[in-house]
Amino acid sequence: MLKRYLPIFTWLPHYHKRLLGADMLAGVIVTAMVIPQSLAYALLAGLPAVVGLYASILPQLFYTLMGTSRTLAVGPVAIIALMTGAALSSIAQPGTEAYLQAALVLSLLSGLILVTMGALRMGFFSNFLSHPVISGFLTASGILIAASQLGSLLGVSSSGFTLIERAITLIPNLPAFNPYTLGIGAGTLTFLIAMRRYGKQTLTRFGIPPALADLLTKAGPVFAVVATSLITWHWQLAASGVAVVGAIPSGLPALSFPWADASLWRALLIPALLISLVGFVESVSMGQMLAAKRRQRISPNQELIGLGAANLAAGITSGMPVTGGLSRTVINYDAGAQTPAAGAFAALGIALVTMSFTGWLYYLPIATLAATISVSILTLVDIPMLRQTWRYSRSDFAAMAVTILLTLVEGIEAGIIGGVTLSIALFLYRTSRPHSAIVGRVPDTEHFRNTARHDVETVSNVALLRIDESLYFANARYLEDTVYNLVASHPELEHVVLICSAVNLIDASALESLDAINARLKDSNVKLHLSEVKGPVMDKLKKSDFLDALTGRVFLSTYAAWREFS
């Protein structure tokens, strides 16, 4: 029981010096590389930069205790920061105490939702976010995040959480751009993109080992932060209008509970639920992928509790909603992290920076952080997935397109809710009209195939009808119509065999339809038979009166039915 709820006890008793060395090295590397990200994502959410540091300390320590992934790194991420800013913008003005208070309530609510879902073992709930919807949401979010950083890259003001709002506030201010800010932003963008595309191969040409070259390439944002901060300080560009991070409070955050009125908690409930689901899906997807590479496993339900605890910790330490971050997790994995202790060492490193070295960040240009965000979210815009979905499934592409358009035009909540709603509606529509086929026997075999696709043997007075879907309330009437039309169009029929090899469920509505079909066929002097009924389905049928009233038989296989009537 202790290991179940505190997974740290599954690996801590086996911890040794070699693991300690690897985790400490990974922690130092992650500390250096995620500080710019943490600052940038707090600003993206409309919060003070230091909030990003706070959200990278205690939340990561709590996840170390309760999480099951050996390499997942928890902290602020771009998508959650954008969703946080969108949720809080309707509550209070950015920069106010009320805005910060609302952020803490949002973190607590998200934590409570995740912990509750974990306790109820509701990890499956994230399955309602289909991959096309998630992909569409991430693509639209990437575009929104990039658009939100244009103002900072140009040195002009812009606001809003939809593409239209950003355009309306940005375009009139374009003539007032700051050339120094533009130079820093464009230079940083160029450098970071060049490092991503050509950094490793260029460094290896100079004789640097591939592993070190890869690490230096990933450290591109750190080099950009140092260089642009020195440039801004040396030439005092802040006096020329270059926006800088400015004074960041030093010291660790005090523990506190955001006592807010009930109306604020109610207003943030839906945003917190959406943030929880999106954060959980992103985190678990990354955790499972990396765990599979090392032949490890994670527990989705325990991940809910671990991420929930991390968000509760953020809420009581002046942080913001957090989850397992893509970029920081990849950095942690590539740096050689062996256990969750690497995350704890990174958290301690960020705590040390927060206590003693925040003064060094005073001259860090906002444009540098904007460039860092813009480059890091390039991977979210998944054009190949758009093309593949368009070619493979127009209905799934419709859900993806609706998610993208609603997210860009109406906002994040509308995009997710619209995409999920359309996905469920399309699923219900598809399953309400299940594919069925009249099958015949492939000559000299025991195999049966669709008569419309294959040259097969049939018997004139027998219809072998294969149903390729579970039977439930949405398609029960469609099944009745299919069978009735079949019998009406074939007056010579004496037997109808429903092949149930693809039927995993028959609910009460479908059972009632089967009773009606059986009675209707009996009046037409046609016997109804079943074949290849799965065990769990048969167990349910035996609890009803259907089998007693069935005019025909239940065959173990379609071939057995064929032999009976041919």
Domain-located, residue 159: yes
Flag whether pLDDT at 127 surpasses 90.
no
The pLDDT, as a whole number, for residue 169 is 94
Q: In what order do the strands lie in the sheet with 436-441?
A: 448-450, 436-441, 462-467, 495-499, 527-531, 554-555
Domain-located, residue 423: no
Residue 360 is classified by DSSP as G
The percentage of residues in the chain with a pLDDT greater than 70, rounded to a whole number, is 99
For residues 376 and 465, state if they share a domain: no
The pLDDT, as a whole number, for residue 470 is 96
Domain-located, residue 402: no
Summarised one tens digit per residue, pLDDT across range 327-339 is 889 888 888 899 9
For residues 43 and 103, state if they share a domain: yes
State the average pLDDT over residues 290-299. 85
Flag whether pLDDT at 3 surpasses 90.
no
The pLDDT, as a whole number, for residue 288 is 84
- Alpha helical stretches, state H, 365-447: 366-376, 383-392, 394-409, 412-432
The pLDDT, as a whole number, for residue 160 is 87
E-state strands within 294-354 = 323-324
Q: Which of 365, 396, 427 is the last residue of a domain?
A: 396
The three-state secondary structure class of 269 is helix
Domain-located, residue 239: yes
State the average pLDDT over residues 508-518. 96
For residues 119 and 22, state if they share a domain: yes
Q: pLDDT band for position 107 (50/70/90)?
A: very high
For residues 455 and 375, state if they share a domain: no
Flag whether pLDDT at 518 surpasses 90.
yes
For residues 384 and 469, state if they share a domain: no
Contact 530, 498 (CB under 8 A): yes
Phi/psi at 528 (nearest 5 deg)? -100, 130
Flag whether pLDDT at 379 surpasses 80.
no
Indicate the burial class of 509 (C-beta count within 10 angstroms; 0-12, 13-18, 19 or more): middle
Residue 92 is classified by DSSP as S
State the average pLDDT over residues 442-470. 95
| Max avg pLDDT among 3-7, 416-420, 441-445 | 441-445
For residues 258 and 166, state if they share a domain: yes
Contact 374, 189 (CB under 8 A): yes
The H-or-E segment that residue 530 falls in is strand 527-531
Higher pLDDT, 331 or 80: 80
Domain-located, residue 414: no
Flag whether pLDDT at 504 surpasses 90.
yes
For the chain, how long is the longest CA-to-CA vector? 96
Alpha-carbon span 74 to 249, nearest angstrom: 22
Alpha-carbon span 327 to 41, nearest angstrom: 12
For residues 469 and 386, state if they share a domain: no
The pLDDT, as a whole number, for residue 98 is 93
- Name the residue range of residue 448's domain: 436-565
The pLDDT, as a whole number, for residue 226 is 95
Alpha-carbon span 528 to 479, nearest angstrom: 13
Q: Give me the chain's average pLDDT, please.
A: 93
* Sign of the torsion formed by the C-alpha atoms of 46, 52, 54 and 56: positive
The region that residue 327 occupies, defined by phi over 0 for left and psi between -120 and 50 for alpha, beta otherwise, is alpha
The H-or-E segment that residue 329 falls in is helix 326-334
The pLDDT, as a whole number, for residue 360 is 93
Q: Hey, what are 348's tokens?
A: 């301690």
In degrees, to the nearest 5, what angle opens at C-alpha 502 toward C-alphas 498 and 503? 70
| Max avg pLDDT among 55-59, 219-223, 294-298 | 55-59
The pLDDT, as a whole number, for residue 326 is 80
Residue 112 is classified by DSSP as H
Domain-located, residue 417: no
The pLDDT, as a whole number, for residue 400 is 92
The H-or-E segment that residue 81 falls in is helix 78-89
CATH number at residue 444: 3.30.750.24
For residues 47 and 157, state if they share a domain: yes
Tell me how far the alpha carbon of residue 75 is from its chain's centroid.
Answer: 16
Higher pLDDT, 412 or 81: 81
The three-state secondary structure class of 197 is helix
The pLDDT, as a whole number, for residue 412 is 85
The pLDDT, as a whole number, for residue 247 is 94
Alpha-carbon span 177 to 365, nearest angstrom: 15
The pLDDT, as a whole number, for residue 148 is 92
Q: Which of 343, 368, 396 is the last residue of a domain?
A: 396
Distances (CA, A) of 80 to 59, 90, 92, 226: 15, 16, 18, 26
Nearest CA among 21, 76, 557 for reference residue 314: 76
Flag whether pLDDT at 378 surpasses 80.
no
Domain-located, residue 6: no
Summarised one tens digit per residue, pLDDT across range 199-222 is 999 999 999 999 889 888 988 999
Length of the chain: 566
Flag whether pLDDT at 116 surpasses 80.
yes
The pLDDT, as a whole number, for residue 532 is 97
Domain-located, residue 190: yes
136-145, 200-209, 325-334, 365-374: least confident range: 325-334
Phi/psi at 557 (nearest 5 deg)? -140, 160
Parallel, antiparallel, or unpaired for β 462-467 and 436-441? antiparallel
For residues 354 and 224, state if they share a domain: yes
Q: Hey, what are 144's tokens?
A: 């929104």
State the average pLDDT over residues 47-56. 96
The pLDDT, as a whole number, for residue 550 is 97
State the average pLDDT over residues 270-276. 94
Alpha-carbon span 102 to 104, nearest angstrom: 5
For residues 59 and 113, state if they share a domain: yes
The percentage of residues in the chain with a pLDDT greater than 90, rounded to a whole number, is 78
Q: Which of 366, 396, 426 is the last residue of a domain?
A: 396
State the average pLDDT over residues 377-394. 88
State the average pLDDT over residues 457-469. 95
Alpha-carbon span 22 to 19, nearest angstrom: 5
* Sign of the torsion formed by the C-alpha atoms of 13, 15, 17 and 18: positive
Distances (CA, A) of 538 to 518, 535, 554, 555: 17, 5, 10, 12
Flag whether pLDDT at 285 surpasses 90.
no
Alpha-carbon span 465 to 457, nearest angstrom: 14
For residues 369 and 440, state if they share a domain: no
Provide the number of structural domains found in the chain: 2
* Global confidence as pTM: 0.85
Nearest CA among 46, 51, 52 for reference residue 94: 46
For residues 126 and 186, state if they share a domain: yes
Alpha-carbon span 17 to 540, nearest angstrom: 57
Summarised one tens digit per residue, pLDDT across range 163-198 is 999 999 999 999 999 999 999 999 999 999 999 999
Q: pLDDT band for position 290 (50/70/90)?
A: confident
